[in-house]
Amino acid sequence: MMIILPRGLNFDLDNIPEDFDEQIRKAFHDYTSDTNPAYMFEDKLSFIDSTLEYLHKTVHEDAYSTVKELCLERMEYTLNEYDEFPDMEDYKCFEFMETCYLAGRGSHRLYDGHACFADNLRDNEKIYRLLIRIMKIVLDYGE
């Protein structure tokens, strides 16, 4: 399985290169090239957030498309389960707003209790290990 990370980095989970740490270090160095060292911690957190967006595959999503997809999923569920279209009120309620909010929050979590980065636990565990490795490299950068 291939993973895509910020700054154009792509890795095969089953063939991580020996210079992985150096590639991450260089990517972060380039990411912070114009940053005053006094504000480096903002960039560290921003880079980790960006990494999560790439791993969750949400980096190119926009709010409109995401909400539209949730609407379509609800419509499909209602059609399949009840053989009818949902009422507009089903979308103009706090329950649906909560669904949208939770979907957005879940796509930015390090861990949500599910295999959130891959379709199987094996690859997901590999991604967790790499994510922790990336975070350690970024957090230790410059110290």
Q: Are strands 9-12 and 2-5 parallel, antiparallel or unpaired?
A: antiparallel
For residue 29, what is the enclosing H or E element? helix 20-31
Work out the average pLDDT over 50-58.
87
Q: Mapping DSSP to helix (H, G, I), strand (E, B) and coil, where does residue 12 land?
A: strand
- The CA–CA distances, whole Å, from 126 to 36, 53, 95 equal 34, 17, 35
Q: Is the pLDDT assigned to residue 142 strictly greater than 90?
A: no
Q: Which of 4-18, 19-33, 98-112, 126-140 has the lowest mean pLDDT?
A: 98-112
Whole-prediction pTM: 0.78
The model's confidence at residue 63, banded by pLDDT at 50, 70 and 90, is: confident
